[in-house]
Amino acid sequence: MSSHKHKEHLEKIKDAVVKSDKLDESQKSESVKRIEEWIAEDKAFGTLLEELLHVSEYFEVLFAELGLSK
């Protein structure tokens, strides 16, 4: 995945997290923090879901809704 596409996906996920009514404010804050780290460090996209699942199982559903699941 190109770096540009990678960043687009991360921004899409971050926007969905902020708008989500399935996550509490603490989960949103922790999730956005992790996503921003991924953007800054250009980490591998595939492991992001695993990281976010530590915050909430909802991310499995969110990634599927966004068309980003494996």
pLDDT in tens, 6-64: 788 888 999 999 999 999 999 999 999 988 888 777 666 667 778 888 999 998 999 89
The dihedral sign for the CA sequence 64, 55, 26, 8: negative
What's the one-letter identity of residue 37? E
